[in-house]
Each structure stands twice: as structure tokens, then as C-alpha cells.
């Protein structure tokens, strides 16, 4: 840092004398005859940060200049040293109030003046380092923010685009939290008769959860061949078999067993036979599905107690089955919606969600998930949820 | 104090003194456990009387404790309804038994 100083002094002889003294100590001295000139010089030399100013001057005196330079509106950090013959207490109080950083009597010898100015430059150096660090931090923060936004956009692209299949119509609402999260859902046609529908929630927030969610989504949806996490090879026509939902979960559990105890996921994987309406499913520690029956417009839970996935190597899962009727709807969701909190810290709860599904049963399927999420949002009295929200509903249309 | 730790030779009690065992509390629980794990002998008792809500991070911390202490017994004391439900849903109630009091948890060891 160059040792640039703005010397403000209306007495030309004194100005010359001090300039010589300071120059002899290696300072680069720029001068002004009063406060107004000082402001003009500061504008001309944007790198000056140390001002050594006389007290009594025409136009704009030292105190007024100091006050101006120390106001929050002045966009530069200035170390301000008041120079004066007066060193009585009242003047010093006035100077401090105006924001002066140090006081030097005019007759002070050059050694002391040099030492004080050096101290001033040390303070400036610290200040400037701090500012630079803050700028760096702001940049890093902006980069992280941008990365999270891009990641969120990628996650959105992993959501299913095809939602209408023969015999089944699917709707979902997926709202990622401000921080990126680990909720994901999907559906796919396994063969002419079977559609798989699933939803999972990787615990925690942030990049680690999102990456894991991304990977799991890939593991499930990569089913082009006859051998995958959802299909198994067979020697006879049609040369593949669908894996049981419990087997699908077991395979995912083994693939994602983590040493890091933070990362695990809960999941429901269900397969609907679109010909006869049989739904087979397995759950890994996931909140219960809600089954809205068309016949009497009532909802019930389908709960299966089971270990979460990615946590225990000994975990096994169970396939169960229910028989749907035409027009029945199934709802899969993550705990983000049931644990959403009101202003009074009440949680929405699973039973309230089940009730809401019943209350909104008259809505067409394509409106219902959004209506549910909006109702919960209004109940919470918030604009953005703390956690990921995902809700998937499908209706069996019958054959 | 978020946690109270009582070490009694054969057994160690961690009392969780927070209403919410969530993403905010879970990291300090892990840290606390990491600090004392060398002293845990036969039995770790988690007193959850005060906990009214546990989220997936809280559950993760408890599952982590179970995995870390494979050779010790773990019990939970006085879990409230939402915690009982969560432990049941995830079958953790099969791995870690719950008891109404610390005394009952210790008696079950014998």
C-alpha cells in the first residue's frame, strides 16, 4: 500500500513545512487549502484513505470535513487525523464526536507524527483486508446460491414428464425448500400391464441429500434393459420378470448403505396392475399412503412398519397388496407436508391430511394435489415451506 | 443444557432436555455421543421425556447411536406419542426397547 496522505492546511508556510517533513519519511503527500478543496482532491485521488487536517480553516473547517468524511454516505473508509494547536479537552470531545480517529498537535515532532500515521495505516490495512474478505465471501455465497439454483433446476427435470398412462392418471406437486432437499418422485410404465409409482425422501437438506436423491432416481428409472432394479432377466418369453416391490427396496437399501449415518431415505414403491386394479407395494419407513375410495368418498391410511433404507444391512421389506376400484385415488407424500407448522408451532399432521383428502375429494384429480398443498400453505400462513413438499396422487381409471 | 449426561459405571443416561429433536439438535447429540462413547459400558439409556417432536434428522441420530454402539444395549425412556409412532413406523421399536422409567429400563437389563 502506498503511503498516500492528504494534508489539509490553510497556512501555506505550514503546509510546505509539513509536506517536506512527511516526504522525508517516504509519504506521498497531496495537499489542500481547506475542507472544500480536500473533498475535491479526494475525488481526484480515489486511493487516498488517510487525511491529516488542520482544525481552523476557511470555507469548510477540519471538524466539518471530518463529519462529512465519516458520514455513512461517504463511500470510502478514511482514517482521519486532526491537526491543531488546540489540544484542550473540549476540542478533543468535539473531534471525537465528529469521528476523528486521532489528534496530533502541530508542534509534534516528526518521529511521533510518523508513528501515529503508521498506526493509522495499520488500521486501514486491517479494514481493507476485512472488506476484501467480505467481498470474497459475498462472491462465494453468490456462487453457492447459483449452484443450488442450478441443482434445483436439475432436480426439477428429474420429475416425471409423462403422467398419463392407459388406465391411470397421475398428478403431483413438488416444491423444493429454499435449501435444496432430497425429495423425489416418479412413475414409469414397466410393461403393458404395470405402472410403477414411487416417492422417496432422503433425510436432511443440502447438496449431499440432493445428490443422493439424484442417484437413487437414476437407479430406479434406468430400466431400459431386462435387468435393472425393477426387472429381472428370465430365460423364457417375455425374458423378464418384474421384481417385487420389497425386492426393489432391498436392492436400493443394499446399494445405498452408508457409513455416514446422516444419509438414509424413506420410500414407498408401488406397482399398479392397470388391467385389474391390484396395487402391490412396499414401504421403507415412509409415512402411510392415503387411499381415497371412490365408492364412499372416504380415505384411509395404508401403513406398513418397516426399516428406513440405506441404514441397516439386515433390513428386509415386505410386499403387500390392496385391490383398487374404479376411480379410487392413492396419495403418496413426504413428511414435509405433515410436519409443516403453523405460526403457533402446531404441525399439520397425517390425520389432518387424510381429512383434507376427503374434504377435497370432489375436486378433479388434476386439481386436488395443488389444492391440498395450497390449503396447507394457507394453514401455515407462510409463503415458502421449510422442508421439501412432495405430494403425488394417481387415480385408477379402470379398464 | 441441551443434554444431561449421567454416568454410573455400568450404564450411561443421556437426558435430552429439548422439546424438538430435529436437524438443529441432531449434530450436537452426535457430538455429545462421540465424546462419551468410550465411557459407555453395557447400557445407554436415552431419556426422551422432554421431546415432543422428532424429525428425520433426530431419528437419524438415534439410528446412528444404535449403529455406533453395536455391542452395548440401548434403551429409550418415556417417549411421547409422536416419538412412539415414528419409532414404530420405522421398526426402530424392535431394535431399541422403550420403558416408562429409567429404573424400568435398568431392571430390564438384569
pLDDT at A390 over 60: yes
Between A38-42, A74-78, A270-274, A379-383, the lowest mean confidence (pLDDT) is in A379-383
pLDDT, residue B96, reads: 95
One DSSP character per residue, A317-359 reads ---EEEE--TT-EEEEE-HHHHT-B-TTS-B--HHHHHHHHHH
Between A41-50, A89-98, A315-324, the lowest mean confidence (pLDDT) is in A89-98
Q: Is it true that A4-132 and A159-396 share their CATH fold?
A: no
User: What average pLDDT does chain A have?
Assistant: 90
pLDDT, residue A261, reads: 57
Indicate left, alpha or beta for A204 from its phi (over 0: left) and psi (-120 to 50: alpha).
left
Residues B10-66: tens digit of each pLDDT: 889 999 999 999 989 999 999 999 998 888 888 999 999 999 999 999 999 999 999
Mean pLDDT to the nearest integer, A56-82: 91
Q: In the numeric block, which cell numbers belong to residue A265?
A: 431415505
Residues A151-207: tens digit of each pLDDT: 888 888 889 988 889 899 999 999 888 778 889 999 999 988 999 999 999 998 788
User: How wide is the angle at C-alpha A321 spanned by C-alphas A184 and A315, nearest 5°?
Assistant: 60
- Mention every residue, 6+ apart, whose C-beta is less than 8 A from residue A157: none
Residue A203 in contact with residue A173, Cβ under 8 Å? no
Strand partners, A105: A84
pLDDT at A145 over 60: yes
Q: Spell out the domain ranges in chain A.
A: 4-132, 159-396
A261 φ/ψ angles, rounded to the nearest 5 degrees: -70, -10
Contacts of A336 in chain B (CB under 8 A): none
**ipTM of the complex in this document:** 0.92
Strand partners, A332: A392
CATH architecture of A159-396: 4-Layer Sandwich (3.60)
Contacts of A303 in chain B (CB under 8 A): 89
Residues of B with CB under 8 A from a CB of A: 23, 30, 53, 55-57, 59-61, 63-64, 67-68, 88-92
Strand partners, B20: B53
Report how far residue A247's alpha carbon sits from residue A265's, in angstroms, rounded to the nearest whole number. Answer: 16
| CA-based nearest residue to A266, from A321, A333, A320, A329 | A333
pLDDT, residue A249, reads: 97
pLDDT, residue A86, reads: 57
Q: Spell out the domain ranges in chain B.
A: 3-107
Q: How far is A383 from chain B (nearest CA, A)?
A: 21
User: How wide is the angle at C-alpha A370 spanned by C-alphas A364 and A372, nearest 5°?
Assistant: 90
pLDDT, residue A121, reads: 95
Coil, helix or strand at residue A131 = helix
The end-to-end CA distance of chain A, in Å, is: 81
- Give the residue from B63, B70, B90, B96 with the most A CB atoms within 10 Å of its CB, the best one to mutate: B90
Binning pLDDT at 50, 70 and 90, where does residue A384 land?
confident
Contacts of B30 in chain A (CB under 8 A): 261
DSSP letter assigned to residue B70: T
Sheet containing strand A102-105, edge to edge, reads A28-32, A4-8, A50-54, A79-84, A102-105
pLDDT at A213 over 80: yes
Binning pLDDT at 50, 70 and 90, where does residue A231 land?
confident
Q: In the numeric block, which cell numbers belong to residue A134?
A: 467480505
List Cα–Cα distances, A191 to A2, A207, A393, B26, in angstroms.
75, 34, 21, 43
Q: CATH topology for B3-107? A: Transcription Regulator spoIIAA (3.30.750)
Q: Which residue has the higher pLDDT, A258 or B55?
A: B55
Mean pLDDT to the nearest integer, A371-387: 88
Task: Return the residue of B nearest to A262 by Cα.
Answer: B60
Contacts of A305 in chain B (CB under 8 A): 88-91
Give CATH for domain A4-132.
3.40.50.2300
Binning pLDDT at 50, 70 and 90, where does residue A225 land?
low
Q: In the numeric block, which cell numbers belong to residue A276?
A: 385389474
User: What average pLDDT does chain B have?
Assistant: 91
Residues A100-133: tens digit of each pLDDT: 999 888 888 899 999 999 999 999 999 999 999 9
Mean pLDDT to the nearest integer, A376-388: 87
B51 φ/ψ angles, rounded to the nearest 5 degrees: -80, 125
Residue B75 in contact with residue B45, Cβ under 8 Å? yes
Amino acid at each position: 500500500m502506498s503511503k498516500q496522505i492528504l494534508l489539509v492546511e490553510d497556512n501555506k508556510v505550514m503546509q510546505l513545512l509539513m509536506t517536506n517533513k512527511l516526504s522525508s519519511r517516504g509519504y506521498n503527500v497531496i495537499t489542500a487549502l481547506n475542507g472544500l478543496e480536500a473533498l475535491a482532491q479526494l475525488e481526484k485521488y480515489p486511493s487516498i484513505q488517510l487525511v491529516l487536517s488542520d482544525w481552523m480553516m476557511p470555507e469548510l473547517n477540519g471538524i466539518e470535513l471530518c463529519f462529512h468524511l465519516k458520514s455513512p454516505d461517504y463511500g470510502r473508509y478514511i482514517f482521519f487525523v486532526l491537526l491543531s494547536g488546540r489540544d484542550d479537552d473540549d476540542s478533543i470531545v468535539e473531534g471525537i464526536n465528529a469521528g476523528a480517529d486521532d489528534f496530533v498537535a502541530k508542534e509534534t515532532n516528526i518521529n511521533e507524527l510518523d508513528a501515529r500515521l503508521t498506526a493509522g495505516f495499520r488500521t486501514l490495512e486491517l479494514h481493507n483486508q476485512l472488506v476484501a474478505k467480505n467481498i470474497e465471501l459475498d462472491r462465494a455465497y453468490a456462487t453457492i446460491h447459483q449452484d443450488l439454483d442450478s441443482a434445483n433446476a436439475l432436480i426439477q427435470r428429474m420429475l416425471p414428464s409423462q403422467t398419463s398412462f392407459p388406465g391411470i392418471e397421475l398428478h403431483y406437486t413438488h416444491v423444493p425448500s429454499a435449501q435444496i432437499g432430497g425429495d423425489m418422485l416418479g412413475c414409469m410404465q414397466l410393461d403393458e400391464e404395470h405402472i410403477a409409482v414411487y416417492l422417496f425422501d432422503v433425510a436432511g437438506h443440502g447438496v449431499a441429500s440432493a445428490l443422493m436423491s439424484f442417484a437413487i432416481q437414476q437407479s430406479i428409472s434406468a430400466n431400459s434393459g431386462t435387468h435393472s432394479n425393477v426387472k429381472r432377466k428370465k430365460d423364457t418369453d417375455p425374458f423378464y420378470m418384474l421384481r417385487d416391490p420389497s425386492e426393489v427396496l432391498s436392492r436400493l437399501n443394499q446399494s445405498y448403505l452408508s457409513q455416514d449415518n446422516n444419509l438414509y431415505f424413506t420410500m414407498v414403491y408401488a406397482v399398479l396392475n392397470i388391467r385389474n386394479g391390484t396395487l402391490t407395494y412396499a414401504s421403507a419407513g415412509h409415512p402411510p399412503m392415503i387411499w381415497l375410495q371412490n365408492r364412499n368418498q372416504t380415505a384411509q391410511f395404508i401403513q406398513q412398519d418397516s426399516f428406513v433404507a440405506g441404514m441397516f444391512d439386515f433390513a428386509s421389506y415386505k410386499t403387500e397388496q390392496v385391490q383398487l376400484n374404479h376411480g379410487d385415488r392413492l396419495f403418496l407424500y413426504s413428511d414435509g407436508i405433515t410436519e409443516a407448522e403453523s405460526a403457533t408451532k402446531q404441525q399439520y399432521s397425517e390425520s389432518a391430511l387424510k381429512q383434507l383428502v376427503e374434504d377435497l375429494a370432489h375436486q378433479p384429480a388434476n386439481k386436488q394435489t395443488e389444492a391440498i398443498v395450497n390449503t396447507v400453505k394457507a394453514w401455515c400462513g407462510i409463503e415458502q415451506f421449510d422442508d421439501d413438499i412432495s405430494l403425488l396422487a394417481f387415480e385408477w381409471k379402470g379398464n | 443444557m441441551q443434554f444431561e449426561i449421567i454416568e454410573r459405571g455400568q450404564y450411561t443416561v443421556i437426558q435430552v432436555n429439548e422439546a424438538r429433536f430435529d436437524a438443529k439438535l441432531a449434530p450436537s447429540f452426535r457430538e455429545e455421543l462421540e465424546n462419551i462413547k468410550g465411557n459407555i459400558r453395557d447400557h445407554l439409556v436415552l431419556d426422551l421425556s422432554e421431546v415432543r417432536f422428532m424429525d428425520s434428522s433426530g431419528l437419524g441420530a438415534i439410528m446412528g447411536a444404535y449403529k455406533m454402539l453395536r455391542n452395548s444395549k440401548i434403551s429409550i425412556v418415556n417417549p411421547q406419542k409422536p416419538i412412539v409412532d415414528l419409532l414404530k413406523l420405522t421398526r426402530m421399536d424392535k431394535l431399541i426397547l422403550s420403558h416408562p422409567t429409567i429404573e424400568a429400563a435398568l431392571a430390564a437389563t438384569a
